[in-house]
Structure 1
Amino acid sequence: MKGESINLQESATILQQISNVCMKYNLRTPLIKRHFLYNPEHKSMYCWIRKVASTSFTKLFADMKNRPPTRNYYKEVDSLTVRTLKKLQLLSNNTKIFKLLVVRDPFQRLVSSYRDRIADNSKYTAQAWIYTEKIFRLTRPELFHSNTTTGNFQQKVFTSDKRLKIVPTFKEFLVWLLQSSEKDDVHWVQYYSHCAVCNIRYNYVLKLDDYTYGQINYIFSKFGLDKNKVYFTTLGETQGGHTNFDTTCKYFANLTQDIVLKLHEKYKIDFEMYNYNINYYMNCATKKF
């Protein structure tokens, strides 16, 4: 991680860009109570985004509330949010509350989500259990032909403890994602709609791609925390290793540029709001169309 330097102008520029994009597309992004953690003592609010250091920041809010240690911080969310939507609406307009948003490159987050929630068959995940059948109905319909030798779909694809025997490829996952009409899972939903960025004036945006000690310390100071007394895990690390640009590019190497463009269309508002660039990924795709 880089040093102590911090550029508040960079965050201010992003915040202005968010406002500009909201106006450009006339966006309205409703508040969803469960997406926001709040600590009244520290006058702090944070919108969690899965696969964007959400575990680290949820743990931090749990520590701020002196919650007992737990291995599953997903379950901590309900105890750390506000009680009513009306209360959240009031807090979101309160200029004395420090409001934090954390983002990362949308495509790197998407690959990270795929690796952790679909491809890692060493564990059960709700996403693999729910979406693999939907993916394979599009990409491998032959798996649904049952017989006494191979069994039915569940027997072919899942172990008895609901882990995957057959893992959908990243391309298969995207083929399904791009045509799906159902509400996106929180692991790959767009940032702008998940965190109500057009309805809330955030105070600071942390880009996970190249954050510094200085930025983390700045956030701690705004949270009213002593950096020397807070344990904070390294951001961006998962069991399968950090998903950076090089890792993401390898996954995109099996995609056509046409798929990359369609994927960008799905996430273009996030790309535009936070100044991410699709061109790098177009170069990763080995096939033109």
Structure 2
Amino acid sequence: MKVLSLLMQNNSWSLSHEAMSYWMSEVEARMVQRRHHLKQVCAKLDLDVYGNDSLHRPNPWEFLVNRPHHLVWCNVFKAASTSWMYNFNILAGYNPKFLRNSKLVPLNLARRRYPRPSLHALQQALNDSVAFLIVRHPLERLLSAYRDKIQFSLPHTLHQKLGNEIILKYRKNKQKVKGSRNKSTPKKPRWPTFSEFVQYLVNVQQKGDPFDMHWAPITHFCTPCQVDFDIIMKFETLQEDQNYLIHQAGLQDIIRPEWKNPAKGCTTTELVTSYYSQLTRAQILQLYHIYRYDFELFGYTLDGYLQLGMTESNSAGSPAT
């Protein structure tokens, strides 16, 4: 499988019929297992029963429906969403050169060609389309959203404004970053620390307020227990999974997978260690509670995360929790 994945990563499609059949069968088995796991857990948690709350009825808001190519995608932010928004814009007829040079937000471009579907339109499309979504470890996805939208937020944006509000509410000793007279006092950054951001998330959860879509639990908007997804791709196996989808949908001559927004500098493991070691174990467990359904439905665990957190006895000198 590693050799086949490397060939596909280099956009080499010249595999023998036997090799391609073997690869397709391997990935198909993976998809069957993921669908089976999802169905079992949905039933165990009673999330497959239709109801009036947001978890028990289909939510078409974030879906993109491409009728000519019979594709239905629930866009999960921070889970290869930039790459697949580009692909869907290509499928919508946008010129690649235009997309590369355009200053317009890719999602806004996409919505010009893919208006948000009604529930009826989504259900009609699901009857003759390949429906898919891309998932990612909830805590890795959350960290990606924090870094992109909060720590490195663009000036004069809603996310920068949110960051300032988080600092005002959750930061103690709000000394200015520049010009501090007390040389011994550690300077705090101009953006919310990861711990302050997590305090904000926990507070949002406790109040029952809606989450920003960049870090909202997938279960809240893709409603995977109410929509039959044919393909569940994972960020961790994205290269193989997306090539499988492209073959299944017959799009080999249209889409050549490209990796948009690749990680720069530190590896994912290094980033996870650096940021989650800033939290207490209690905070990490609070995050698990927020994303519990995403963990269970898609087969993720806290392995490797909980032990990174500080114990209460070691967090006395950390930011307030």
TM-score by length of 1: 0.82
Q: For 2:133, what is the secondary structure of its paired residue?
A: strand
Following the alignment from structure 1 to structure 2, what is the Cα–Cα distance between the partners of residues 176 and 207?
28
What are the within-5 Å matches in structure 2 for residues 252-263 of structure 1? 252-263=276-287
* Residue number in structure 1 paired with 2:171: 140
Matched, 1:57 2:84: yes
Which residue does 2:299 correspond to in 1?
275
Distance change (3 Å), C-alpha of 1:111 and 1:118: same
Shift of 1:136: 2.2
Residue 222 (structure 1) aligned to one of 248, 259, 262: 248
CA distance in 2, matches of 1:33, 1:242: 36
Query: Letter of the aligned partner of 2:28 in structure 1?
Result: L
Are 1:82 and 1:88, in contact at CA under 8 Å, matched by a contact in 2? no
- Where does the alignment leave 5 or more consecutive residues of structure 2 unmatched? 6-22, 48-54, 181-188, 314-321
Structure with greater Cα Rg: 2
Shift of 1:31: 3.1
Q: Given the superposition, is the C-alpha separation of residues 116 and 221 from structure 1 closer, same or farther in structure 2, using an over 3 Å criterion? A: same
Aligned-residue CA RMSD (Å): 2.7
**Which whole-Å CA distance do the structure 1 matches of 2:76 and 2:156 have between them?**
21
Q: Describe the superposition over 1:142-184 as per-residue Cα deviations: whole angstroms up to 9, x where unpaired.
A: 659xxxx99xxxxxxxxxxxxxx81110000001111112200
> Per the alignment, do residues 37 and 241 of structure 1 end up closer, same or farther by CA in structure 2, a change over 3 Å counting?
farther
Displacement of 1:245 in angstroms is: 3.1
Q: Which residue of 1 aligns with 2:258?
A: 233
Q: Would you say the 8 A contact 1:236–1:242 is kept in 2?
A: no
Compared with structure 1, are the counterparts of its residues 49 and 22 closer, same or farther at alpha carbon in structure 2 (3 Å cutoff)? same
Structure 1 residues 236 and 198, CA gap change in structure 2 (3 angstroms):
farther
In the aligned structure 2, how far is the partner of 1:108 from the partner of 1:259?
A: 15
Shift in CA distance, 83/175, structure 1 to aligned 2, threshold 3 Å: closer
Match of 2:10 in 1: none
Aligned residues: 266
Match of 1:91 in 2: 125
TM-score (norm 2): 0.74
Residue aligning to 1:100: 132
Partner of 1:16: 36
**Identity over aligned residues, as a percent?**
24
Amino acid in the other structure paired with 1:191:
I
Matched position secondary structure for 1:109: helix
State yes or no: 1:166 paired with 2:198.
no
